[in-house]
Chain A
Amino acid sequence: MLAISSDSTFALKTYADSLKLPFPLLSDRTLTAIRAYGVLAPDKVRPLRAFFLVDQQGILRKQWLLGLAGDDIVFSSEPILKAIEELTSRPSK
């Protein structure tokens, strides 16, 4: 699992430390990856919250586009966990 943010590495270090996150946080200050995944908000400044599920072959299998951080997003992790289970239970080619 990887997380990408437009925040600075400095901010992400504090964030990861505070929440004791066991996965890496990547800083995308130039919005390169955020643009490439099509999740830059209409204000061209902030990224939208989104999840992308990529399989063992590097093929994008599913995506969930949620909205801006701070928006009143009702989000359940269940569909994502189910999709990961389905994907990981398949024999890899």
Chain B
Amino acid sequence: MTRRDVPGRAWLRRGLLVLGTVLATPETGQADVADRLKALDLAAYPREERPPEFSGRTVDGQRLSLERLHGRVVLLTFWTTWCVPCRDEMAVLDRLHRDLGPKGLAVVGVGAGEQPAAVSTYAAALGVSYPLIVDPRGEIQAAYGVVGVPTSFLIGRDGRAVARAVGPRDWDGAQSRALIRALLAEPIRSR
């Protein structure tokens, strides 16, 4: 019998693996998220904070609500057609949507105070593939207290508010992607 075949050693290895898994979640995951929020200069919400519910119509006429996105990590971003940093950020968000959308990320844009025709033209020109909600009367914008664009909110799979970003961020960078992957790894809890 070689060293590798010792039965006790195999059990010990399995035991350590289980212990390591137990220690890695969920506290380690939460610490990981907290560190990444700090690195990205995102304002974290208390664990129990819930974002305002919303329901709106997308530029292609579909109804979309926060409730329907339960179970996905949501990156909700407020923008306008006249905002130059928003334009740059939209290309980045589109890449993120294409890459991580199939893994459970929902990128949703809200055209704050924008008319449907303007949003439609703008989205077509930029080739934006993630859903854009039209908010011509600024109702969703007011519910979230948005007074500057871009302003974005990260929402966990369990529907809790995770963090807020006032101003543009490098959403496609390594830190952001690691943060989103950590949120995607969280269990879905019922509301």
Contacts and interface: CB of A to CB of B under 8 A. Distances in A.
A18 B142 contact: no
Nearest to B142: A11
For this complex, into which size category does the number of interface residues on chain B fall? 10 to 19
Contact of B166 (A7, A11, A12, A17): A17
A14 B151 contact: yes
A14 B166 CA distance: 8
Contacts of B166: 14, 17-18
Interface residues of A, number: 11
Interface of B is mostly: loop
Given A13-B164, A14-B166, A17-B43, A7 B145 contact: yes
Contacts of A37: none
A8 B151 contact: no
Contacts of A36: none
B56 interface: no
B49 interface: yes
B132 to A, nearest CB: 20
Interface in B153-191: 161, 164, 166
Contacts of B118: none
Contact of A18 (B45, B151, B161): B151
Interface string A11-27: 11111011100000000
Contacts of B51: 10
A26 B174 CA distance: 37
B145 to A, nearest CB: 3
B148 A8 contact: no
Given A17-B166, A18-B166, A10 B52 contact: yes
Given A17-B43, A17-B164, A17-B166, A10 B147 contact: no
Contacts of A11: 52, 142-145
Contacts of A12: 145
A10 B161 contact: yes
Contacts of A15: 145, 147
Given A7-B142, A15-B147, A18-B166, 16 more contacts: A7-B145, A8-B52, A10-B50, A10-B51, A10-B144, A10-B161, A12-B145, A13-B43, A13-B164, A14-B147, A14-B151, A14-B164, A15-B145, A17-B164, A18-B146, A19-B147
12 contacts: A10-B50, A10-B51, A10-B52, A10-B144, A11-B142, A13-B145, A13-B164, A14-B144, A14-B151, A14-B166, A15-B147, A18-B151
Interface of B: 43, 45, 49-52, 142-148, 151, 161, 164, 166
